Amino acid sequence: MKPRLIVIVVILILATLVAGCAAQTKKEAIGQVNFTLGTNPDPPITGKNEIILNLQDKDGKPLTGATVDVSADHTDMSGMTMNGSATEQEDGKYAITADFSMSGTWKITAYVRKDGLDVRKDFELKIP
């Protein structure tokens, strides 16, 4: 191996290690927030639905004042993704309208940020 190639390989290995550590931290941080996903209507339909996220802190109290972003990805196809910010309702509930143009499996990802908190959680939603 030429020295230049070795440097590139080492950088790639380091990048993988760093990415691995970051993912691990996020995973553990999920324990700081309890997520419950609901839809209106329930069960969800093809077309417009309200996605409702019910968030509680680790003591079971409503998590208020958080920034909640939601993305929805039609996992059966590539590039069919929507995202937006959920609006805070009462008691730690956050809602956003999503237009599921197709049935099938959608991956819903919720990103929650508040002060030092930065967590995400994936849900699988089946649209009949």
Residues that bind Cu ion (CB under 5 A): 74, 77, 80, 102
Q: Of 74 and 93, which CB lies nearer to Cu ion in the complex structure?
A: 74
Taking the least distance from each CB to Cu ion, the nearer of 20 and 78 is 78
Peptide bond connecting 41 to the previous residue in cis, omega within 30 degrees of 0 = yes
For 5-16, letters b (16+ CB in 10 Å) and e give: eeeeeeeeeeee
- In whole angstroms, how close is the CB of 74 to Cu ion at the nearest point? 4
Indicate the residue among 9 and 102 with the shorter CB distance to Cu ion: 102
The distance of closest approach from Cβ of residue 77 to Cu ion in the complex, given in angstroms and rounded to an integer, is 4
